[in-house]
């Protein structure tokens, strides 16, 4: 299971409808997380590091991130994060 991070184009975001997805925000913190379903999110602001059993991934503003179903990880919110998100 791998987290994917990409820099989407405006066209990709429009096609996904990402700017219409709900918004989630978090202050700097560390917490465990499990993904029951695949999540795609578009980061509006902030910086996050996610650690899994096999990788550490850092992402931030303007990144499109996909978390696979079944993933167990630990989130470290380094700078206050604000994101659009959608569960598939």
Q: Supply the CATH number for residue 36's domain.
A: 2.60.120.10
Q: What is the DSSP string of 38-62?
A: -EEEEEEEEEEEEE-SS-EEEEETT
CA distance 14 to 23: 16
Question: Would you write out the chain's pLDDT as a tens digit for each of its 88 residues?
Answer: 899 999 999 999 999 999 999 999 999 999 999 999 999 999 999 999 999 999 999 999 999 999 999 999 999 999 999 999 999 8
- pLDDT the model gives residue 38: 98
- pLDDT the model gives residue 67: 98
Q: 3 and 39 in contact (C-beta within 8 Å)?
A: no
Domain that holds residue 70: 4-87
Q: Which residue bears the tokens 């991070």?
A: 5
CA distance 73 to 19: 26
- pLDDT the model gives residue 57: 98
- pLDDT the model gives residue 1: 83
Instruction: Name the helix (H) or strand (E) containing 15.
Output: helix 10-16
CA distance 59 to 49: 7
Count up the domains in the chain and report the number: 1
- pLDDT the model gives residue 49: 98
């Amino acid at each position: 299971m791998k987290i994917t991070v990409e820099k989407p184009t405006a066209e990709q975001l429009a096609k996904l409808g990402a700017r219409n997805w709900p918004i989630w925000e978090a202050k700097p913190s560390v917490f465990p997380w499990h993904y029951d379903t695949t999540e795609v999110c578009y980061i509006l602001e902030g910086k996050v590091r996610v650690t899994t059993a096999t990788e550490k991934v850092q992402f931030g503003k303007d990144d499109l991130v996909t978390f696979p179903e079944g993933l167990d990880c630990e989130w470290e919110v380094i700078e206050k994060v604000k994101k659009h998100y959608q569960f598939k």
